[in-house]
Amino acid sequence: MEAVKYGEIEFVEDGGGEVTSAAGSNRNDGISSFWGPVTSSHEWCEKNYVYSSYVAEFYNTISNVPCILLALVGLLSSLLQRFEKRFSVLHLSNMALAIGSIMYHATLQHVQQQSDETPMVWEMLLYIYILYSPDWHYRSTMPTFLFLYGVSFAVLHSVIRFDIGFKVHYVILCLLCIPRMYKYYIQTQDMSAKRLAKLYFATLFLGSLCWLGDRFCCSQISGWPINPQGHALWHVFMGFNSYFANTFLMFCRAQQREWSPQVVYFMGILPYVRIEKPKIRRFQHYGNVYHQCWL
């Protein structure tokens, strides 16, 4: 038998050419893998290739769909009401992250894992910009620094396979956002907007519990009659978490711009921000007479 190590997972090849995990992989022996041996730094608490040879972790893959749909709703709202471009980019980054996560969990390959992890960092840099830029006096320095930071991280992460370092780095970026979100929460008087912030914190808390349970209690969960699919639930909670965060930030920014924001509900369920921008005064000169126009 020959042992071959891919990333942090060791696979053993027997005399017949069959590859199995030496560390108790989640491999399902009933269906062969289209993508080959696992090369990502770790797997999650879900059996691989149960439903298809093209999808390694089925539930962890499809659980990203709600995030894409919610980001699409937010993007349409942002574009139709002509919010600042930063919010369109933010919704697009949510979609890119979800697509990267689909690629990672469907293949469990190292390159696809980076297509999940790198957008996670880029997304948090966008949140930092949106949260802190209104009080930043030097308009060009923050986006320039964050852009260079994001590019540098992407290059380093493609060369150095961060694992624990990536998680610590991501948590630090998240912690930088939370105090500012809380500041906006206490400054906001609108109860509907405050409810969005509460939903943001609630989904973050519940999603984190699901992630931790799936990551550190897998040996116990594997013995249960039904796997609760904690990592898939993390994806769902974080999809809603991003949507609630984006909607709350759109409300706060609209207040700063005096756009008379209101939180309304699509079909009485899904909240979004409706704004009413003030009409702009323009003065047109005809001879010696100025005419006031309302646009």
pLDDT one-digit tens code per residue, 129-178: 999 998 887 778 899 999 999 999 999 998 887 888 899 999 999 999 99
pTM to 2 decimals?
A: 0.84
Q: Which pLDDT score, from 0 to 100, does residue 15 have?
A: 41
* In-domain check, residue 165: yes
Q: Which pLDDT score, from 0 to 100, does residue 282 have?
A: 54
Q: Which pLDDT score, from 0 to 100, does residue 224 have?
A: 94
What contacts 250, CB < 8 A, 6 or more positions away? 74, 77, 78, 83, 87, 261, 273
For the chain, how many structural domains are there in total? Answer: 1
CATH number at residue 82: 1.20.1070
Q: Which pLDDT score, from 0 to 100, does residue 280 have?
A: 66
231 is in an annotated binding site: yes
Query: What whole-number distance in Å separates Cα of residue 198 and Cα of residue 244?
Result: 9
Q: Which pLDDT score, from 0 to 100, does residue 26 have?
A: 65
Query: What whole-number distance in Å separates Cα of residue 160 and Cα of residue 186?
Result: 41
Q: How confident is the model at residue 291 (pLDDT cuts 50, 70, 90)?
A: very low
169 is in an annotated binding site: no
57 is in an annotated binding site: yes
288 is in an annotated binding site: no
Calculate the average pLDDT of the chain. 86
48 is in an annotated binding site: yes
* In-domain check, residue 64: yes
* In-domain check, residue 207: yes
* In-domain check, residue 68: yes
Classify the phi-psi angles of 108: left when phi > 0, otherwise alpha if psi is within -120 to 50, otherwise beta: left
Residue 11: name the closest of 21, 23, 25, 2 by CA.
21
Tell me how crowded residue 40 is: count the other CB atoms within 10 A of its CB: 24
Tell me how crowded residue 20 is: count the other CB atoms within 10 A of its CB: 14
Q: Which pLDDT score, from 0 to 100, does residue 136 have?
A: 80
* In-domain check, residue 126: yes
DSSP E strand stretches across 252-295: 262-266, 270-274, 281-286, 289-294
42 is in an annotated binding site: no
* In-domain check, residue 140: yes
What contacts 163, CB < 8 A, 6 or more positions away? 8, 41, 42
* In-domain check, residue 22: no
Range(s) of the domain holding residue 93: 59-274
**Mean pLDDT on 25-42:** 75
* In-domain check, residue 111: yes
Residue 45: name the closest of 203, 224, 240 by CA.
224
Q: Two tokens at 134?
A: 């209104």
Scan for tokens 């931790």, then name that residue: 212
